[in-house]
């Protein structure tokens, strides 16, 4: 007899996470079971080479005359030139694309381990916390910055060796972006130190340390990512939403009329974009650290998608300053995305 | 839909039965949902579930070319792969341990059955399943996640159909007791 519990268990449905099937397919393709037919082809190739018809006259038991030898030599050279020419022509015409090796798909735990390892060598060991931009110590600081760049480059390279699990795809992109920014800041520290520009080096160092903090937050969100209880998740969403609403610069940015950050609106726009980006990305990171329970997974995904849209618009705004057309479009996109974020958050807080 | 006797997928929506070789896409389309539900029920958290489902599907896809319908049903073949993935991940106890747990089950005192009615919530049921022993999680996951018959559950775990039936009843009784405690706290 089937009771209510059995019926409930039978009717339970879980949405297969986005990308899970694709990752499994890609991993299966990457290391397929070797087929006998593949081996057979290889063997056949070798056999054919072995069975190439041979000229019985070349065995030495039928020596050639001088004239025959000369003709054979010329024929061989002509044949070789034809072969080389054909090969060169085919290469030039076909221009084969370089083989791109398939990247391995990491599981969640493998990816977390990778991030934990690289965080230990980079952000936890950033400039050894000793960097004086004033001469004569500035030279040592520049050396430290150069060493830090090597470690950060390794972090970036490690991320490029594999594909992240779907759950971390978005934060993986942000992580790479910020790795690029912190390396650029450190290069600015080195450049300013070389020219004796202590003020420029200090500004660049401050920017680098800020980016380091962002990297730490993102790395920690990945390493400690775990599923929240419904109550805990509602708390995370409420906090993120409240912080966004309480951010004056963010409010100012999105309440500008007609649209934010057009060329007439001055340098304050950059601060607004930076503040809003910080709030949006902190919110996104908190949703990675404590991801939605199954009962709120669909709503959580919607919130995350809208936050990512806002982050994308902010990114376009920070790189498109001076171009009013881009600003108008991305400003509207930001406004729309943030209003959806607040709606999603309210929906989760009420229904969770 | 799938024809269990041949292992081929049969599209008979228009009343005309057609057979097609089992492709990677067809395998995923038909079984990914069940494999993930199984993984959710047998794992102790959703992260492990996602990793397990990915691993199991990857193994099945890798071995797809070696599947021979003449040698048995696809269900048996697939769930053997899934169960092995679960064992390797430590989510399903080894066969030897299952026998010991089976013996322990025989002498276990029946739990008092309380009605949990319609007050169940997915998150609570999932949490309660995840608190069960690995043996009980395995039978629940295969029976209700994989949607397998008791005979197939037994085959997947290397125990008899009767033992699979008994283990599932025990697991359900245990689960019901845990949920009853939550629904009707003392």
Report domain extents, chain A.
105-224, 227-352
pLDDT of residue A129: 61
Q: Is the distance from CB of B135 to CB of B98 less than 8 angstroms?
A: yes
B99: pLDDT strictly greater than 70: no
**CA dist., res. A133 & res. A202, Å (int):** 6
Q: Which residue has the higher pLDDT, A213 or B19?
A: A213
Q: Average pLDDT, stretch A173-178?
A: 89
**CA dist., res. A141 & res. A147, Å (int):** 10
Interior/surface letters B91-123, b for 16+ CB within 10 angstroms, e for the rest: bbbeeeebeebbeebeeeeeeeeeebeeebebe
Pick the closest to residue A24 from B156, B169, B50, B102 (CA basis).
B50
A230 vs B contacts (CB less than 8 Å): 123
Tokens read off for B35: 């494999």
Q: How confident is the model at residue A330 (pLDDT cuts 50, 70, 90)?
A: confident
pLDDT of residue B80: 85
Tokens read off for A164: 């992240």
Place of tokens 């380091």: A212
pLDDT of residue A52: 36
pLDDT of residue A348: 92
Residues of A in CB contact (< 8 Å) with B are 4-6, 8-10, 12-14, 16-17, 20-21, 23-25, 27-29, 31-33, 35, 105, 107-109, 165, 167, 225-227, 229-230, 293-295
How much of chain B is in helix, strand and coil states, percent to nearest 5?
65, 5, 30
β-strand pairing of B8-10 with B2-3: antiparallel
Q: How many CA atoms lie within 13 A of A337 on its CB side?
A: 21
B185 lies within 8 A of chain A by CB:
no
pLDDT of residue A51: 38
**CA dist., res. B55 & res. A25, Å (int):** 10
B121: pLDDT strictly greater than 90: no
**CA dist., res. B67 & res. A37, Å (int):** 16
Instruction: Mark yes or no for CB contact B54/A10 under 8 Å.
Output: no
CB pairs under 8 A between A and B: 108
Q: A177-202, pLDDT tens digit by residue?
A: 889 998 999 999 888 888 888 888 88
Q: How confident is the model at residue B108 (pLDDT cuts 50, 70, 90)?
A: very low
A29, A33, A227: residue with CB nearest B47: A227
Rounded to 10 deg, the angle between the A230-246 and A248-255 helix axes is 70
What's A227-352's CATH class?
mainly alpha
A59: pLDDT strictly greater than 50: no
Domains and CATH numbers, chain B: 1-92 (1.10.1740.10), 93-186 (1.10.10.10)
pLDDT of residue A31: 60
pLDDT cut 90: percent of chain A above it: 14
pLDDT of residue A65: 52
**CA dist., res. B31 & res. A171, Å (int):** 29
Q: What average pLDDT is seen over chain B?
A: 75
pLDDT cut 90: percent of chain B above it: 8
Q: Give the DSSP H/E element, type plus range, for residue A148.
A: helix A138-160
Q: How confident is the model at residue B11 (pLDDT cuts 50, 70, 90)?
A: very low
pLDDT of residue A282: 92
B144 lies within 8 A of chain A by CB:
yes
Place of tokens 């003020």: A199
Place of tokens 């970036």: A156
**CA dist., res. A41 & res. B28, Å (int):** 30
pLDDT of residue A22: 85
Q: What average pLDDT is seen over chain A?
A: 78
**A234: closest CA of chain B, how far (Å):** 15
Mutate to test the interface with A, among B144, B153, B169 (most CBs of A within 10 A): B144
Confidence (pTM): 0.54
Q: Which residue has the higher pLDDT, A44 or A221?
A: A221
**B142: closest CA of chain A, how far (Å):** 11
pLDDT cut 70: percent of chain B above it: 70
Q: What angle do CA A227, A231, A235 make, to 5 degrees?
A: 90
**CA dist., res. A211 & res. A278, Å (int):** 11
Give the three-state DSSP class for A184. helix
Q: Is the distance from CB of B160 to CB of B153 less than 8 angstroms?
A: no
Q: How confident is the model at residue A162 (pLDDT cuts 50, 70, 90)?
A: confident
Ordered strands of the B19-20 beta sheet: B2-3, B8-10, B19-20
Q: A2-58, pLDDT tens digit by residue?
A: 677 888 888 888 888 878 888 888 888 766 543 333 322 233 333 333 333 344 444
B132: pLDDT strictly greater than 60: yes
Q: Give the DSSP H/E element, type plus range, for residue A251.
A: helix A248-255
pLDDT of residue A341: 92
Q: Is the distance from CB of A293 to CB of A227 less than 8 angstroms?
A: yes
Q: Average pLDDT, stretch A71-91?
A: 78
pLDDT of residue A55: 41
**CA dist., res. A97 & res. A317, Å (int):** 35
B104: pLDDT strictly greater than 80: no
B54, B65, B117: residue with CB nearest A20: B54
**CA dist., res. A203 & res. B17, Å (int):** 72
Instruction: Mark yes or no for CB contact B50/A165 under 8 Å.
Output: yes
A238: pLDDT strictly greater than 50: yes
**CA dist., res. A91 & res. B75, Å (int):** 49
pLDDT of residue A320: 67
- ipTM exceeding cut-off 0.85 for this assembly: no
Q: A282-325, pLDDT tens digit by residue?
A: 999 999 999 888 888 889 988 988 898 898 888 888 776 667 77
Q: Is the distance from CB of A279 to CB of B107 less than 8 angstroms?
A: no
């Amino acid at each position: 007899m089937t009771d209510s519990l059995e019926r409930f268990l039978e009717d339970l449905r879980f949405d297969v996470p986005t990308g899970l099937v694709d990752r499994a397919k890609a991993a299966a393709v990457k290391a397929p079971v070797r087929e006998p037919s593949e081996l057979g082809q290889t063997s056949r190739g070798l056999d054919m080479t072995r069975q190439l018809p041979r000229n019985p006259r070349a065995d030495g038991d039928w020596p050639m005359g001088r004239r025959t030898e000369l003709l054979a030599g010329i024929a061989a050279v002509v044949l070789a030139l034809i072969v080389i020419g054909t090969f060169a022509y085919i290469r030039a015409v076909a221009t084969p694309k370089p083989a791109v090796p398939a990247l391995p798909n990491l599981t969640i735990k493998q990816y977390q381990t990778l991030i934990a390892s690289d965080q230990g060598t980079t952000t936890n060991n950033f400039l050894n916390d000793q960097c004086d931009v004033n001469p004569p110590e500035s030279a040592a600081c520049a050396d430290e910055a150069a060493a830090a760049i090597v470690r950060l480059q390794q972090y970036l390279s490690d991320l490029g060796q594999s594909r992240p699990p779907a759950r971390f795809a978005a934060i993986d992109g942000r992580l790479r972006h910020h790795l690029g920014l912190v390396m650029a800041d450190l290069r600015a520290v080195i450049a300013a130190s070389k020219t004796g520009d202590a003020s420029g080096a200090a500004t660049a160092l401050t920017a680098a340390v800020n980016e380091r903090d962002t990297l730490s937050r993102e790395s920690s969100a990945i390493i400690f990512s775990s599923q929240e209880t419904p109550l805990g998740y509602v708390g995370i969403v409420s906090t993120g939403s409240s912080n966004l609403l309480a951010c004056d610069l963010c409010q100012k940015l999105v309440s500008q009329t007609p649209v934010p950050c057009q060329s007439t609106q001055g340098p304050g726009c950059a601060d607004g974009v930076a503040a809003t980006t910080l709030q949006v990305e902190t919110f996104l990171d908190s949703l990675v650290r404590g991801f939605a329970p199954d009962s709120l997974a669909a709503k959580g995904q919607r919130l995350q998608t809208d936050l990512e849209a806002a982050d994308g618009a902010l990114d376009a705004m920070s790189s498109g300053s001076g171009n009013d057309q881009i600003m108008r479009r991305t400003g509207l996109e930001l406004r729309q995305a943030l209003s959806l974020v607040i709606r999603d958050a309210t929906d989760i807080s009420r229904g969770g | 839909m799938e024809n269990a006797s041949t292992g081929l997928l049969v599209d008979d929506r228009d009343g005309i039965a057609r057979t097609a070789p089992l492709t990677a896409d067809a395998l995923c389309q038909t079984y990914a949902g069940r494999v993930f539900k199984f993984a959710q029920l047998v794992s102790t958290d959703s992260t492990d579930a996602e990793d397990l489902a990915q691993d199991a599907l990857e193994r099945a896809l890798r071995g797809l070319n070696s599947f021979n319908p003449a040698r048995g049903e696809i269900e048996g073949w697939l769930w053997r792969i899934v169960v092995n993935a679960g064992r390797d991940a430590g989510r399903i106890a080894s066969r030897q341990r299952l026998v010991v747990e089976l013996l322990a089950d025989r002498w276990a005192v029946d739990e008092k059955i309380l009605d949990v009615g319609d007050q169940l919530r997915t998150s609570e049921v999932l949490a309660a399943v995840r608190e069960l022993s690995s043996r009980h999680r395995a039978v629940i996951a295969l029976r209700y996640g994989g949607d397998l018959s008791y005979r197939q559950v037994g085959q997947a775990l290397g125990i008899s159909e009767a033992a699979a039936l008994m283990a599932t009843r025990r697991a359900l009784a245990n689960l019901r007791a845990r949920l009853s405690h939550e629904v009707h706290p003392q």
